[in-house]
Copies of this chain bind each other. A is one copy, B any other.
Amino acid sequence: MTKPRSRRGGGRPTIADVARKAGVGAITVSRALREPGRVSEDLRRQIRAAVDELGYVPDPNARALASARAEVFGVLVPSLTNNVFAEVVRGIYDSLSDSPFRIQIGNTHYSGLEEERLLQVFGSQRPAALIVAGIDQTPSARRLLENAGCPVVQVMETGPDPVDMMVGFSHFDGGRTAAEHLLQAGYRKIGFIGARMDPRSQRRLAGYRAAMEAAGLFDARLVTTTPVPSSVTLGRELFRDALAKMPTLDGVFCNNDDIALGVLFECHRASIDVPKQIGIVGFNDLDMMQVSFPSITSVRTHRYEIGTRAVAMALSAIAGNRPEQRIVDLGFELMRRESTGR
């Protein structure tokens, strides 16, 4: 009449099995695993031996239920394929790989509503921390973040009013710097070409516009944008549109490097000399920018570092150390190359 080992669990060893084998209480095993310092050397050794022998792995679900806190970082990004976010995510993964924290990524597809939905889903798990891209949450998404009951890091941008913490840089300044560089290099009819036009792209456009207005050279016809997702192909097409609209164009600030590459290829194809006839500046500084012919000037952003820094801040907040600096500006760097070397 022995009770079967377990009604449902797949018969995997539990903390009670380890405790029995090590001759201690279950709670001591739990402590030995989570706060080794609070268990004596002797027992710790016995427990480790029992764990190894049984191949015990704690059940994260039971752990989360009992402690009302899951060892999960929730990460919300607008795109998985955009290299920019992929780099941030990679930074997050690398920083968390030696920690007990798991990572759960949500893809918002650049939609505020989808972001709300995912925040709801993520929140139901009581994550240890949340990392979200951008600062333009809907009011209700913002409320969810404020009530998440865990550290929150907004990444990619800086802004005046963080939910909790922030790591990023000023896209406005990035756009302005790019435009000013073209102006200094002697270009005058400088276009802006942008796809997707999410809030960050909008702010880069605003920075470009500020620089152009300051130089007395802004003209609405210089701006060519589309809500369509960015691609190299699209860069080529938009550049053609821009040129059709404004044949005297002598420079372009591209919303991102894919667009810039598309512009460069179209210049090759149409035998437009870069940088003599057209100067090109990209944004993000992907690897290929330095190899292309001619190499392309771009605004380098520190995407991987944004990820690692965000994790570092969240981790220290979890440990109880609120950071002295809630807003971290990692800046950017203008990489001058052949494409603007007139």
State the A residues within 8 Å of B (CB).
8-10, 57-62, 64-65, 67-68, 70, 80-81, 83, 86-87, 89-90, 93, 97, 102-105, 107, 120-121, 123-126, 149, 231-233, 235-236, 258, 261-262, 265, 268-269, 287-288, 290-293
Contact = CB atoms under 8 A, between A and B. Distances in A.
A65 B61 contact: yes
Nearest to A94: B107
Contacts of A97: 107
Contacts of A9: 68
B102 A103 contact: no
A90 B81 contact: yes
B93 A87 contact: no
Given A81-B86, A103-B105, A291 B60 contact: no
A88 to B, nearest CB: 10
A29 B92 CA distance: 38
A39 B233 CA distance: 53
Nearest to A290: B233
Nearest to A304: B81
B57 A120 contact: yes
Contacts of A65: 59, 61-62, 65
Contacts of A68: 8-10
Contacts of A80: 86, 89-90, 93
Nearest to A72: B104
A290 to B, nearest CB: 7
Given A10-B68, A93-B80, A93-B107, A265 B287 contact: no
